[in-house]
Structure 1
Amino acid sequence: MNRFGHIDLRVNDLERDLPFYEKLLPELGFTRTFHSANWKVFAADGELPSAAYFAITEDREHRPNANLIGFWAQDREEVDRLAKLIVEIGGAVNDGPRLFPISPTYYAVYFEDPCGNKYELLHRLN
């Protein structure tokens, strides 16, 4: 059972960062939106509150750190395709996409949103 519930993410400039997430999150399966004045919520399939969701709010004092959020990819081609998209929509690729020595099939890209929050998109067979 995947126990993931949701992420409450802070960015320091919502106007700058929201377009990045509006293009990336649907590609990761967060296709439904439930926005309010203070929160931009992107949900996966299923009924809230049990459906996984990704919520974003602005905190002008937010400073990115070494925390990292990882997403599964269906295959290496998806990792490659989304790595290109990340750059096109204003993110930064820090490493990859490539095989990493974590396991023989660990294929990933490490990246940041325009705010500097860190992510990984990976595919592995074992």
Structure 2
Amino acid sequence: MEKKAKPFSHIDLRVTSWEKALPFYEKLLPALGFTRRFDSSDWKAFVAEGDLPDASYFAIAEDPDHTPNKNLIGFWAHDQQEVDYIAKLVREAGGKITAGPGLFPISPTYYSVYFEDPCGNAYEFLHRTN
């Protein structure tokens, strides 16, 4: 079987409230490279560069009964400065920093920030060189 160059397709995320979550994601996702937007009555889709249907996307649906769990979505950062920038953006957009930004004992160069969206969904944005 041929290995795919880009194994990630999409994320389908639930939030408890469009009102609480959309302003946060409208700031965060473009900074992570999801610069195009396609909406329907049920979904708000933030799409990365590339031709559809191959472009990766991050889709959000409202579900008032959704309960966040211990799942975590992680994104790579180009460098530590980008981690710091995303941490600042998360704070400004109404997210909650749960740890960092800083070095973590996973490896000597593991620099990360852990955060939650306004509905409690968990993320990590990290840079490491080893």
Correspondences of 1:21-32 after superposition (within 5 Å): 21-32=25-36
1:4 counterpart letter in structure 2: F
Structure 1 residues 94-109: aligned runs within 5 Å: 94-109=98-113
Q: Secondary structure in 2 aligned to 1:34?
A: strand
The structure 2 residue matched to 1:113, chosen from 106, 111, 117, is 117
**TM-score normalized by the length of structure 1:** 0.97
Please list every run of 5 or more consecutive structure 2 residues that lacks an aligned counterpart in the other structure.
none
**Structure whose CA Rg is larger:** 2
User: Any residues of structure 2 matched to 1:62-101 within 5 Å, and which?
Assistant: 62-101=66-105
* TM-score in terms of structure 2 length: 0.94
* AA aligned opposite 1:61: D
Residues in 1 aligned to 2:92 and 2:48: alpha-carbon distance in whole angstroms:
23
**Which residues of structure 1 form unaligned runs of 5+?**
none
The superposition leaves residues 43-97 of structure 1 with CA deviations (integer Å, 9 ceiling, x where unpaired) of 0000122111000000110000000000011100000011011011100000000
Aligned residues: 126
Structure 1 runs (4+) greater than 3 angstroms displaced: none
Taking only the aligned residue pairs, the percentage that are identical comes to 67
User: Structure 2 vs 1, CA of residues 2 and 102 (structure 1 numbering), >3 Å: closer, same or farther?
Assistant: farther
Query: Residue 57 of structure 1 aligns with which residue?
Result: 61
Q: Name the Cα RMSD after superposition.
A: 0.8
